[in-house]
Amino acid sequence: MTEKPDIKSMELSELQLQINELSEKSYRAKQLYEWMHKKMARDYGEMTNLPKTFIEKCRERFSYTALQIVKVQESKIDGTKKFLFALSDGNLVESVWMRYKHGNSVCISSQVGCKMGCAFCASTLDGWERNLLPSEMLDQIYAITLFTGERVSNVVVMGTGEPLDNYENLLRFITLLTDENGLHISQRNVTVSTCGLVPRMYRLADERLQITLALSLHAATDEKRKKLMPVAQRYSLDELMEACAYYFEKTGRRITFEYSLISGVNDTKEDAKELTALLKPLNCHVNLIPVNPIKERNFAQSDKTAVEAFKNMLEKNGINGTIRREMGRDIDGACGQLRKSHMDKQS
């Protein structure tokens, strides 16, 4: 059986062609598109102003993505909500909803599992299953918007998976998400986080999008980074920094560096010095995140004093750093923890 085309992953112009092929009036494409991407319909059945015969044709011809909520956990500390979703093939993905002063933010997954193998991350422990479709990335946001009844203003692709390892689908997702006929989220309110797939970073720079690129650094020497992140064996820090400089040059967008502080591993004075030297030539911002310990690995969070000292060292040298508030610590807030604990319980 060949799979039906995924209607929620189509751009409006593509949908228009499909609708023309069905010999339907072309304004139907826009109506359908708005039902999917503006009103976030869960099924064709909700599209009350469309003729039944037309809907039946669509049902026959296209598949329609609608993620099912399996579980919602709400933090009693800060109201952060973590969602576990089931995809149509039974795979599970997780997303996080956070409320900030400047608006609501959703952190979405881009793949089922992950190939990257970072030592401190729960998402990669069971390996990689498959890429998410654009519609499956969008639907995490749609389902959460419907559940909370509140508009999402920021999207971060920082959940499970390596977004630049699912490049085509990621770009299509961004196009749909920022489209004026859909949720119309500004590119500037979209952040994509990568562990540093250098060739894809160049490609992304050449797209000249106005999104923010976050780079997961976590170490300032090749030797140390290789121990934490297998991707460092493929690309050296020199190559990575060159790609970052190129990204800034092409897009004018300042890179955000993610640095998870692990006690005794990457949080010493020496580490801060090396990080300063590495980042000094760049126009950037550093997010310092006390590592979220996962039970499968023996990494401890840096204590408050070490985190403060680390930040001060950077700032003394003119590098902006923010200590990221931990959100949802009480609800398996770190990448991949909820999915993993749910699957472990069932097996």
Q: Which positions touch ligand SAH (CB under 6 A)?
A: 116, 118, 120-121, 158, 162, 193-195, 216, 258, 260, 289, 291-292, 294, 334-335
d(C-alpha 41, C-alpha 175), whole Å: 19
Structure tokens given for 93 = 């993905």
Q: How far apart are CA 35 and CA 56, in angstroms?
A: 16
Cα separation, 217 vs 312, in Å, equals 19
Q: How many CB atoms lie within 10 A of CB 85?
A: 24
Shortest gap between Cβ of 17 and ligand SAH (angstroms)? Answer: 34
Q: How far is the CB of 180 from ligand SAH (least distance, A)?
A: 28
Reply yes or no on whether 114 is catalytic: no
Give the burial class of 117: count Cβ atoms within 10 A of its Cβ; 0-12 exposed, 13-18 middle, 19 or more buried. Answer: middle
Nearest residue to 209 (alpha-carbon basis) of 241, 173, 171, 180:
171
Nearer to ligand SAH, 16 or 251 (CB): 251
Number of CB atoms found within 10 A of residue 13's CB: 8
Choosing from 58, 107, 284, 335, the catalytic residue is 335
Of the candidates 24, 94, 129, 258, the residue annotated as catalytic is 94
The residue count of the chain comes to: 347
Q: Do 161 and 82 form a contact (C-beta atoms < 8 A)?
A: no
Spatial strand order in the sheet of 190-194:
68-74, 81-86, 92-100, 103-107, 154-157, 190-194, 212-216, 255-261, 284-290, 320-323
Give the whole-angstrom CA distance, residue 294 versus residue 335. Answer: 10
Q: How far is the CB of 216 from ligand SAH (least distance, A)?
A: 3
219 φ, ψ (degrees, to nearest 5): -160, 150
**Nearest residue (CB) to ligand SAH, 142 versus 259:** 259
**Between 178 and 256, whose beta carbon lies closer to ligand SAH?**
256
Minimum CB distance to ligand SAH, residue 157 (Å): 7
Contact 301, 290 (CB under 8 A): yes
| Token pair belonging to 107 | 């952190």
In the chain, the amino acid numbered 151 is: R
CB nearer to ligand SAH: pick between 250 and 293: 293
CB of 294 to ligand SAH, least distance (A): 5
Closest separation in Å from C-beta 25 to ligand SAH: 42
Identity of the amino acid at 249: E
Bridge-partner residues for 260, per DSSP?
Answer: 289
133 vs 231, beta carbon nearer ligand SAH: 231
Residue 335 annotated among the catalytic residues of the structure:
yes
Catalytic site positions: 94, 335
